[in-house]
Amino acid sequence: MDKYAVIGNPIEHSLSPEIHSAFATHTDQNLEYERLWAPNDGFVKRVESFIKDGGLGLNVTAPFKQDAFNWVTELDPLATKAQAVNTIQIDGNRRIGFNTDGLGLVADLKRLDWQLENQKLLILGAGGATMGILQPLLDVGCEITVANRTYSKAEALQLLYPSIQICSLDKLHTGWDIVINSTSAMRVGSKLAVDTSVFEHAKCYDLTYSLDGTTPFLDSLIDVATDTSEGLGMLVEQAAEAFFIWRGIRPDTQSVLSQLRVPQPLRRFIAGAKCHKCGADDRIYVEYDDLKTPNTQGCLACGYRESRDGTTTVQIYEPK
Ligand code: ATR
């Protein structure tokens, strides 16, 4: 059977096997898809043994996108621009590197019906994730500003992409159509110090994905943004681009996205409650799977969440 895989470290939580298996089922393709773990210095060895076993293609995730970029024998123009490879096609002795992240993001923004052409788009962060999405966003006509905590990194990015504007994170103004969080701040547990006025009247997208439709970054904008989305759709769309490269067929992404996403919980705020973690007033919520059964309590201000377990009620708020 034709063999494909995703390689990363860590890799056990990757959703790629579920996504590609669903694509294969829906399009009647006979293939198998597995997770490959490699030590941080073991990308080449693991990939070469996978190819020896008949592997035809790979998705590449952190921390190996640069190793893949250096290892392939040919590069697609978007991978060259991104200086990173997230998809590899094996064709005889050819190892062709692609980057489908930016195409995946653009496809998801279109699925959300967010207008892109001539829109003022702010990207927070100037690291590898931003490099992966810039060219496809420029290609669809976005007017892009990149803001980064370390200004020199934004300057270096502007040398590679002269049509972007740059700004330092603490000098941002308001007036954006779309804001994309491409920083690793919340993933690495640090605070993203951007004034919430920056997000007023903007649609906000977080490249981080979640199965319940929200992230700590988006939760903090609930009162100011006009629309929000986390990155699960981008994950599915970039996978669909890879599937198309390998199999020449475009799978239906919407059905796979619905299959992955758990139903969005209903959220109700508790009037007069104070968070016992951060002391914020009126920011405590309860989430329900349905209208009857509360399952989680949390604080929107500090992001603290706690589950209710069976008959035990874990009270995380104190009445005023
Ligand atoms: P990735 O591959 O996820 O983009 P990366 O290349 O390490 O990871 O880049 C991380 C990005 O998140 C950088 O732009 C970084 O800003 P700096 O260049 O100033 O380090 C940004 N970032 C990480 N933590 C942040 C924080 N707490 N506030 C603002 N930006 C942060």
The 10s digit of each residue's pLDDT in 29-81 is 999 999 999 999 999 999 999 999 999 999 999 999 999 999 999 999 999 99
Residue 299 CA, ligand 1 centroid: distance in Å = 25
CA distance 235 to 161: 24
Which segment of 91-105, 155-169, 192-206, 268-282 scores lowest on mean pLDDT? 268-282
pLDDT recorded at residue 38: 98
Phi, psi of 69 (to 5 degrees): -60, -40
| Per annotation, catalytic residue among 3, 65, 120, 274 | 65
Beta-sheet pairing, 55-60 with 31-37: unpaired
The alpha carbon of 34 and the centre of ligand 1 are apart by a number of angstroms equal to 30
State the pTM of this model: 0.84
Ligand 1 nearest-atom number relative to CA 190: 27
Q: Does residue 315 carry a pLDDT above 60?
A: no
Residue 25, helix vs strand vs coil:
helix
State which H helix or E strand residue 51 sits in.
Answer: helix 43-52
Give me the pLDDT at residue 272, please. 82
Cα(194) to ligand 1 centroid in Å equals 13
Q: Which two tokens stand for residue 189?
A: 């547990």
The pLDDT of residue 222:
84
Q: Ligand 1 centre from 74 Cα, in Å?
A: 29
Quote the tokens at residue 203. 């649609």
Atom number, ligand 1, closest to the C-alpha of residue 130: 4
Catalytic residue at 65?
yes
Tokens 């969005």 found at = 264
H and E: helices and strands count for the chain? 10, 18
pLDDT exceeds 70 at position 101? yes
- What is the location of CATH 3.40.50.10860 in the chain? 2-99+237-260
Average pLDDT score over the chain:
91
Asked whether the bond before 162 is cis by omega within 30 degrees of 0, the reply is no
Ligand 1: which of 86, 148, 183 to mutate, judged by most atoms within 8 Å of the beta carbon?
183
Please report the pLDDT score of residue 262 as a whole number. Answer: 62
Structure confidence at residue 273 (pLDDT): 85
CA distance 310 to 16: 32
> Per CATH, is 2-99+237-260 categorized as 3.40.50.10860?
yes
Q: Which atom of ligand 1 is nearest to the CA of 125?
A: 14
Checking if the pLDDT of 162 tops 90, the result is: yes
Residue 314: its pLDDT value, please? Answer: 46
Identity (one letter) of the amino acid at 67? D
Q: Give the ligand 1 atom nearest the CA of 207.
A: 3
Q: Which residue's CA lies nearest to atom 2 of ligand 1?
A: 128
Q: Which of 137-146, 159-168, 310-319 is predicted with the least confidence, judged by mean pLDDT?
A: 310-319
> H or E stretch including 71?
helix 65-71
CA 108 – CA 116 distance, rounded (Å): 11
Residue from 151, 184, 215 whose mutation best tests the ligand 1 pocket (most atoms within 8 A of CB)? 184
pLDDT tens-digit profile of 246-271? 999 999 999 999 888 866 567 777 87
pLDDT at position 292: 65
Cis peptide bond prior to 63, omega within 30° of 0: yes
Rounded CA separation 53/105 (Å): 32
101 exposure class (CB count in 10 Å sphere: 0-12, 13-18, 19+):
buried
- The answer to whether residue 108 scores a pLDDT higher than 50 is yes
Burial class of 162 by CB neighbour count within 10 A (0 to 12, 13 to 18, 19+): exposed
Does 310 have pLDDT greater than 60?
Answer: no
Measured in angstroms, how far is the CA atom of residue 185 from the centroid of ligand 1? 6
Evaluate whether 187 touches 211 at the Cβ level (below 8 Å). Answer: no
Within the chain, all domains assigned CATH 3.40.50.720 are found at 103-230
> From 3.30.70.1170, 3.40.50.2020, 3.10.450.50, 3.40.50.720, which CATH number describes the 103-230 domain?
3.40.50.720
Ligand 1, atom 18: closest residue by C-alpha: 150
Q: Which of 59-63, 151-155, 242-246, 303-307 has the lowest mean pLDDT?
A: 303-307
Task: Express each pLDDT in 191-250 by its tens digit.
Answer: 898 999 999 999 999 999 988 788 989 988 988 999 999 999 999 999 999 999 999 999
By C-alpha distance, which of 189, 244, 186, 182 is closest to 207?
182
The rounded distance, in Å, linking the Cα atoms of 97 and 83 is 10
How far, in Å, CA of 56 to CA of 94, rounded?
11
| Residues contacting ligand 1 via CB (< 6 Å) | 125-129, 148-150, 153, 169, 183-185, 190-192
Q: What is the pLDDT of residue 180?
A: 98
Q: What angle do CA 289, 291, 293 make, to 5 degrees?
A: 55
Three-state secondary-structure class, residue 90: strand
The distance of Cα 86 from the centroid of its chain, to the nearest Å, equals 13
